[in-house]
Amino acid sequence: MTNTIDRRRLLATAVLGGAGIVGATALGSLVPEAAFAADPVDVEPGAVDPNFAEGRITGISGATLFVTGSDTVLHSIRVTDGTSIWKLQPTTFDRIAVGDGLYARGLRLADGTLAADAIWVDIVNVHAHLTNLGRNVMHLDHRGQPIVAHVIPGVTAAVYNGTPAVSDVSLLKVGQHVQVIGAWHPDTNEIDVATVYAAVQ
């Protein structure tokens, strides 16, 4: 916790140009990973992108995630100090659990491991119709399948007519078409809403 605060103070000072440059010790040890030394790989058109992986997490060992892709391909994904982890919002490694789905982007190492730059856990993107509204809950119809979408106050954002995001979700009306980016509750038809896109009058 103290580390986090120190680190944030350092970063804030650097960007706002306050007290100037601070020494290395405040940052703690962040060993450069082999991933960051490798050059990006160019992908042939139509070929599988080696720097991307998706699937369900079947095991976690240390900082490595074992993932089975939806095409049954097995991936091992290495999480580093520089990996961003999203699960409804930017979060930390300890929030990842076996059973979660994920999309990961990074660099494929020589041993086949994907050193992840960014991981999006349980992320879903659905187009649906709003069939009902409850207290902080939206009932969606996605091609005939019901989805229960939870609105999380303080986290959920709404984008109306493509304007900058706001936290007021209350302009939504039953019957509307919406696009929802959210975090799936694994093995249910429920999601938490990160962003809802809608057109309003």
Partner 1 sequence: MLQFIAALQPLVIGAVLIWSARVKLSRRQAAANASRSALAPLIGERRALPAYRVLGVVELAIGILLVLPPALAVEAAAATALAAGFTAYLYYAHTHAPDASCGCMSSRRTPVSWRGFARAGLLVVAGLFATLVPAGWPHAFATNAPAGGGLLLAELALVITLSPELDGEWLLPLRRLRARLTHPLTGGTGVPLLSTVQQLQQSPAYRQVASALTSDVREHWDEGEWRFVSQSARYRGRPAVAVFAAPLDGYQPEAVRVAVLDDATGVTVFASGSAADPPFRAYAGG
Is residue 135 involved in binding partner 1 (CB under 8 A)?
Answer: yes
Q: Which of 57, 77, 120, 160 binds partner 1 (CB under 8 A)?
A: 120
Token readout for 112 is: 């086949």
Is residue 47 involved in binding partner 1 (CB under 8 A)?
Answer: no
Q: Which of 3, 12, 99, 141 binds partner 1 (CB under 8 A)?
A: 12
Is residue 1 involved in binding partner 1 (CB under 8 A)?
Answer: no
Helix (H) or strand (E) holding 7: helix 2-16
CA-closest candidate to residue 114, choices 80, 89, 86, 87: 80
Q: Which of 52, 56, 60, 117 binds partner 1 (CB under 8 A)?
A: 117
Is residue 22 involved in binding partner 1 (CB under 8 A)?
Answer: yes
Of the two residues 30 and 73, which places its CB atom closer to partner 1 in the complex?
Answer: 30
Q: Which of 57, 79, 102, 151 binds partner 1 (CB under 8 A)?
A: 151
The residue type at 193:
V
Q: Which of 1, 2, 23, 72 binds partner 1 (CB under 8 A)?
A: 23
Is residue 110 involved in binding partner 1 (CB under 8 A)?
Answer: no
Buried-state track 131-161, b at ≥16 Cβ within 10 A, e below 16? eeeeeeebbbeeeeeebebbbeeeebbbbbe
User: Which residues have a Cβ under 8 Å from the Cβ of 60 and sit 6 or more positions away?
Assistant: 66, 96, 97, 98
167: how many CB neighbours lie within 10 A of its CB?
10
* Phi, psi values for residue 35, rounded to 5°: -55, -40
Chain positions contacting partner 1, by CB under 8 A: 8, 10-12, 14-17, 20-27, 30-33, 36-37, 81-86, 89-90, 117-118, 120, 133-138, 151, 153-159, 164-170, 172, 194-195
